[in-house]
Amino acid sequence: MVIGMTYDLMDDYLKEGFSMEEAAEFDREETISGIESALNELGYGTDRIGNVKALVGRLSEGGRWDLVFNICEGVYGMGREAQVPALLDAYGIPYTFSDPAVMALTLNKALTKRIIRDLGIPTPEFAVIENENDIDEINLPFPLFAKPVAEGTSKGVSVSSLIEGRQELKRVCRELLARFREPVLVERYLPGREFTVGIIGTGEKARIIGAIEVLINDKSDSPIYSYDNKEHFEKRVTYRKADDEILRECGTLALKAWKGLGCRDCGRIDFRMDEEGNPEFLEINPLAGLNPVRSDLPFICRFYGISYRELIRMIIDSAMERAEKRQ
């Protein structure tokens, strides 16, 4: 059995002139090699395809695979994470992770929060800034938190994201609108502890594999899990295994969100505690990073005794079960 591999390689985009932050969501060679090695150890043949443009070329040449392990983030547009899944659906080729509808939805943090709210899952009150005129309409209590509505890897999240007053809100929103050319999500800031939960599986077979607390160290210039803090996690961030009560509370909400949104195979959901210590939904990542060294999901697995190869095996098993049902 041959598994194709679709991905955006960071080095390719850096060579094209992208900045490190612009290329932050793309994968390093060590991630691609790590996944490929795990697949080979599990007995699968592999074929490196590359990004969505490379996939288009290979498909037009008649390329076909038993399954595609897709980690493409995409480059342009609000539906960029949906591009590869949509292409593979068109050709009837099974693949890992969520379908185009879920990928397009969950990239937009505001739309996702609206559905999460309808599912009865607590999430901070929020507003969406489409243009500068919207800033004056915000009627939320300070402090607030601002970030681009459709970026990952904490792009656009910095010490400035935590906002204490009206003038600061205007300045930060204007900067983010100009810099990312997309709406800004502004939400009530939650002052409590932060956790991220790992999930494996699809539908009723989805299960929690663990949760970790994210602790920002004194060496950081901000108390938030910002882009800079993630980049320098070795010195600025400590990860701690969640206790049983937290795992139960966050895990229950995470599974409800995962199933309610229709996510598949594997991913992460982030939570933060409110003033009273209750967890609230922040974000969901149905295409979570798989860098063996740097990504949060492999961090979670290590805390719970799950090897990297076992993580990849569980992802493949979930996707294969779905592919077999289509035959």
- 103: its two tokens: 């990928």
- Complete edge-to-edge strand list for the sheet that includes strand 184-188: 126-129, 184-188, 144-148, 162-163
Predicted local confidence at residue 153, as pLDDT = 81
For residue 258, give the 3-state DSSP assignment: helix
pLDDT tens string 19-58 = 998 999 999 999 999 999 999 999 999 999 999 999 999 9
| C-alpha span between 179 and 163 (Å, rounded) | 18
Q: Mutual orientation of helices 29-41 and 308-326 as an angle, nearest 10°? A: 70
| Separation between Cα atoms, residue 74 and residue 79, nearest integer Å | 8
Whether pLDDT at 323 is above 90: no
207-216 sheet: strands from edge to edge: 237-241, 207-216, 194-200, 266-273, 279-285
- Give the DSSP H or E segment for 178: helix 166-180
DSSP per-residue codes, 184-199: EEEEEPP-S-EEEEEE
Domains and CATH numbers, the chain: 2-97 (3.40.50.20), 125-188 (3.30.1490.20), 191-326 (3.30.470.20)
Q: Stretch 156-163: mean pLDDT, rounded?
A: 92
Tokens, residue 277: 């210590």
Q: What percent of the chain has pLDDT over 90?
A: 89
Beta bridge partners of 6: 50, 70
Q: pLDDT at residue 224 above 90?
A: no
Written as six digits, the tokens of 31 are: 């991630």
pLDDT in tens, 111-145: 999 999 999 999 999 999 999 999 999 999 999 99
Q: Strand order in 67-70's β-sheet? A: 45-50, 2-6, 67-70
- Token pair listed for 15: 């060579």
Which class for 243: exposed (0-12), middle (13-18), buried (19 or more C-beta within 10 A)? exposed
pLDDT of residue 221 exceeding 80, the answer is no
The answer to whether residue 203 scores a pLDDT higher than 90 is yes
pLDDT classification of 325: cutoffs 50, 70, 90? confident
| pLDDT for the residue numbered 197 | 98
Please answer whether residues 97 and 67 qualify as being in contact, where contact means their C-beta atoms are separated by less than 8 angstroms.
no
Tell me the β-bridge partners of 187: 126, 145
Output the pLDDT for position 231: 82
327 has pLDDT over 70? no
Q: Is 25 helix (H, G, I), strand (E, B) or coil?
A: coil
Q: Is the pLDDT of residue 326 over 80?
A: no
Burial class (CB in 10 A: 0-12, 13-18, 19+), 193: middle
> Residue 93: CB partners within 8 Å, gap ≥ 6?
4, 64, 65, 67, 68
Please classify residue 1 by burial: count the beta carbons closer than 10 Å to its beta carbon, then call 0-12 exposed, 13-18 middle and 19+ buried. Answer: exposed
Per-residue pLDDT of 262-283, as tens digits, reads 999 999 999 999 999 999 999 9
Q: Does 77 have pLDDT greater than 90?
A: yes
